[in-house]
Chains A and B, each alone.
Chain A
Amino acid sequence: MKKMVILTASAVVAMSMAGCSSTPAGDSTGGTITFVTYTGGAAGEKYVDAVAGFEADNPGIKVNLEVVPGDATYDSLVTTRIQGNNAPDIFEVLNPLAGAASYIDAGLLRDLSDQPWVSTLVPGVAAASGVTGGNTYGLVTSLASAGVFYNKDIFEANGLEVPTDWDQFLSAVATLKATGVTPLAVGAKDGWPLMVNAQAMAASDPAFADPGNETAAGLADGSIKFSENDSWKTMVKDFSDLVNAGGFSPDASGVTWPSSAEDFAAGKSAMLIQGDFAIPAIRTANKDINLGYFPLPYVAAGETPAVLSYYQGVLAVPEAAKNSDLALKFLAYLADPNVATGFLTTAAALPTVQGAEPTLDPAIAEILPALQKKSGDSGQSGLTPATNTALQTGLQSILAGNGDVASVLAALDGAQAQ
């Protein structure tokens, strides 16, 4: 009798285990690629188009594009799927390239160094693979810039020129404020747009100029405290001063990022500090906008401001991917110069593979000289996922009026200590 109980119990266990077992992989000619990304909406059109083109060229292969929130849950979703034997075949790395480090350390990503497209990467992108230990673990599909979008008509109406240093920027903010125009839009409720604001400031800070600078390394490993680092102390204070000067709309802490783009597009605010991926959203909301784009001049008079640049759409293939051959085929497709040209034109972004020549938005063309002169990478200011989250929360509380410079720096130290 006891035996029977045990038999039944083990049958139940076996049956529930069977539910976890892997589904057979698709054959080499056909199958479905699972592609997880956090880039949706207007900014995600580039992937939708690329998938359609790939499926048309490769009958029998389907790409299942899954758009999920790019918030704090993203990495746990991806790792859970990898560990749960349900790995995506391709996923977009959050916080490129630094965000890939945890995956690489844990040996979860396939080394892509042997892929044919590696030799066709533009020099800057190829050099960035140093960040990931010399090997290439992801295809960087585009280069993005971030800076200040401005409404040329509003600037002209108020007799403003493009500011080239921080004092000029603050005086432009004051002039706009005085005439009743909200100087800056920001989707602070979503958190990450504040990150773009902070990183656009950090890009021009000489302490963070070199890839692999010591300050960033110290901030990342905890040997330098944020509350004792002059760069971050000054930046958080300057951001707080900008808030207190009425730089942002009074309700900014409750505004989402799409609303901020719509506010700016509709002329309700004169400027928007954002990445160039915002261009499709701005132009969709108002196709007639007289759009300009300049680097955030977080410098003293006479110095050259840097354009914040970052790697965008970094696509990685997990070691555990079931359809990795198909995934590699898709990456090779995206790296093809002709395909990349179309992809980048849709994405309104700069190329990462040689030979791709996208039609760039006039706004990007406008900032390109400044970008080629000086750029600062977003991964060089010493933020980790934990301190990144703490900074977003902190800047949000400054905007909402329930935080100050000291509490933000303390929160950053706290997040760093974990």
Chain B
Amino acid sequence: MTSYSLPTRRRFALGERATRTLFIVPALAIFTIVMLVPVAMNAGYAFTDWNGFTQDFGWVGLANFAHIGADVATRTAFVNTLVFTAINAPLQILIGLILALSLRSTSRFIVGVRLIVVMPIAVSGVVLGFIGTIIFDPRTGILAALAESTGLEFIGANWLGDPKLAMAAVIAMNLWQWSGFTMLIFLAGLTSIPEELYEAAQLDGASRWQQFSQITWPLLSPAATINIVLTLIGGLKIFDVVYVLTGGGPGDATRTVVMRVVTQGATSNYGYSASISVTLTILTMIVALVALAVLRRREARNS
């Protein structure tokens, strides 16, 4: 029996390499079709004057990229996006860290609280944007009603109509959505820190702050690296919450780069829109790679 079945098996057996390739192929094919090809096509369009409608279009070289510098509206969008990222990223890391440290316990109650903190991740940014309009609307908003009932006028400020407050409102909604995610990563990092280290430190009479700065924070470096890089990338790509909450307004005050990509693409400037998205992609890659390099070096020092 055995001697009979062996050759049959061999006929269908593949080399290890081929087997591995075979397993990758389906995923790779789908990834190529839905991701790599469109991205490459988009990058190609960045060098054309395609309007998004017609079949024919011409190559314009780097003209679209040169226009980005001259275009006040696009420049404003880049500045807004950088401001958003610069304010949002540290806050998100800080809030995520504080949440993780205060919700370390695995008691049922704390786990329940964690769930509530994490829940907004499951909600789409668009939905969260609508929730934001319900909160901040100067006529029908929750804050407006709260201001009226408590007499605290500053709560009922024109959140979405004032350029500075609008950016604050946008950041607040984004923090609400993503701080829980940052917390999750920190929590995962915390579980990997051996309890003995703290016990030893306590025996040595280390204060809570010393325990945090000498044990927790250094050993959280890998988690911090992931969190910082992800928040930076997320900040540069921000779109959905802002789009629904303020539409980029008032004026251009909260218009982000991705929003500019969308409106330009939709107003017959597809080629220019593609060049903005390519620029943003390159910028995001540079920021992410630099941050990663710096943070990895810090991790190496800490370990």
Contact = CB atoms under 8 A, between A and B. Distances in A.
Given A1-B18, A12-B25, A259 B33 contact: no
Q: Is the interface of B mostly helix, strand, loop or mixed?
A: loop
Nearest to A2: B18
A254 B137 contact: yes
A410 B267 CA distance: 18
Given A254-B250, A397-B250, A5 B21 contact: yes
A73 B262 contact: yes
B67 interface: yes
Nearest to B54: A106
Q: Is the interface of A mostly helix, strand, loop or mixed?
A: helix
Interface residues of A, number: 56
A410 B73 CA distance: 10
A418 B272 contact: yes
Nearest to B159: A254
Contacts of B18: 1-2, 4-5
A276 B250 CA distance: 26
Nearest to B264: A418
A393 B248 contact: yes
A263 B140 CA distance: 11
A259 B22 contact: no
B263 interface: yes
Interface stretch (A196-204, A313-321, A399-407): A399-407
B252 interface: yes
Interface in A363-418: 384-386, 389-390, 393-394, 396-403, 410-411, 414-415, 417-418
Interface in A63-122: 71-76, 79, 102-103, 105-106, 108
Contact of A191 (B249, B262, B272): B249
Given A13-B33, A105-B53, A254 B158 contact: yes
A16 interface: yes
Contact of B53 (A2, A79, A188, A415): A79
Given A259-B137, A393-B251, A75 B266 contact: yes
A74 B21 contact: no
A103 to B, nearest CB: 7
B33 A74 contact: no
A190 interface: yes
A76 B52 contact: yes
Given A5-B18, A393-B249, A253 B267 contact: no
A170 to B, nearest CB: 24
A189 interface: yes
B249 A189 contact: yes
B14 interface: yes
Nearest to A392: B249
B138 interface: yes
A256 interface: yes
A188 B166 CA distance: 14
Interface in B122-164: 133, 136-140, 158-163
A135 B180 CA distance: 57
Given A189-B160, A254-B158, A263-B139, A400 B73 contact: no
A253 B161 contact: yes
Contacts of B251: 253, 393-394, 396-398, 400, 402-403
Interface in B226-277: 246-253, 255, 262-269, 272
A166 B268 CA distance: 36
A4 to B, nearest CB: 8
Contacts of A13: 29, 33
Interface string A1-15: 110110011001100
Nearest to B253: A402
Contacts of A5: 18, 21-22, 25
Contact of A71 (B139, B246, B247, B272): B247
Contacts of A418: 67, 71, 264, 269, 272
A29 to B, nearest CB: 34
A106 B72 CA distance: 30
A259 B264 CA distance: 29
A396 B29 contact: no
Nearest to A395: B251
Contacts of A414: 70-73
A415 B264 CA distance: 10
List of 3 A-B pairs having minimum Cβ-Cβ separation, nearest first = A397-B251, A254-B161, A400-B250
9 contacts: A12-B25, A13-B33, A74-B266, A102-B53, A253-B158, A263-B139, A385-B268, A389-B267, A415-B73
Interface of B: 14-15, 18, 21-22, 25-26, 29-30, 33, 51-55, 67, 70-73, 133, 136-140, 158-163, 166, 246-253, 255, 262-269, 272
